[in-house]
Amino acid sequence: MYQAAVFIHLASAIIWIGGSLFLALALIPVMRRFAPTPGRPPPAAGLPPDLLGSIARRFRVISWICIALLVATGLYILPTRYGIGFSEFFSLGGHFVGTLQVKVALVVVVIWLSAMHDFIIGPYVNRLIDEMQAGAEPSHRLPLLRKCVVWIARVNVFLTICIVAVAVTMTRGVPV
C-alpha cells in the first residue's frame, strides 16, 4: 500500500507540474502568436476562438485532482513511512521535520494561489472579457487583472518547482 501511495504521489506531481510547465512554456506562447490583434488579420490556421480557455478549463480539473491526490497520499505517507503525526509535525524535530514544514507551507501557498487563480480572479477576468465582447464598455481593471492572473500562474509554477527541490532535500539531504 505504501508503494502505491508513493507512486500516486509522484505521478500526481509529474502530471500537475508537467502540465503547468507545458501550459506556461509551450501552449500559451504559441497561442499568443495566433491571437487576433487590432490592425492585423487573423492567422489562416483557423483555430477555435476559445481553444486556450477550453484547454485551461480541462487542465484545471486534472490539476485539482492531482492536488487532492498529493495531499491525501502525503498525509498517508508521513505517518506510515516516517512516523510523523500531528504533534511531531509541530515539534522542532530536526532537519527532516523542519524541511517538511517548509514544504507544507509552500504547498499551502500554492493551493491558495491556485484557488485564487482558478476560482476567483480567472473567472472574473473571463466574465469581463465576455461582457466586453458582447458590447459592454471595457473595464479599466481588465489589463491589471489579466496581468495578475498571468503572474499568479508564473509564481505558482516557480513555487511548485521549489516544492520538488525541498522534497528532494527532505529525503536525500542538503546538497554539499
Tell me, what's the pLDDT at 44?
55
DSSP, res 80: I
Q: What is the pLDDT of residue 112?
A: 96
Which residues lie closer than 8 Å to 4 by C-beta, 6 or more apart? none
What parts of the chain have a pLDDT lower than 70?
35-49, 175-176
- CA–CA separation, 122 and 79 (whole Å): 36
Task: Phi first, then psi: give them for residue 83, nearest 5 degrees.
Answer: 70, 25
- Please report the pLDDT score of residue 141 as a whole number: 85
Q: What does the pLDDT look like over 39-50, one tens digit per residue?
A: 555 555 566 667
Whether 31 contacts 51, CB under 8 Å: yes
Positive or negative torsion for Cα 48, 52, 55, 57: negative
Residue 96: partners with Cβ closer than 8 Å, 6 or more residues away: 82, 170
- The grid coordinates listed for 157 are 509554477
Q: What is the predicted pLDDT for the residue at 15? A: 95
Q: What per-residue confidence (pLDDT) applies to 47? A: 63
pTM listed for this prediction: 0.82
Q: Are 162 and 113 a contacting pair, CB within 8 Å?
A: no
Predicted pLDDT at 158 = 94
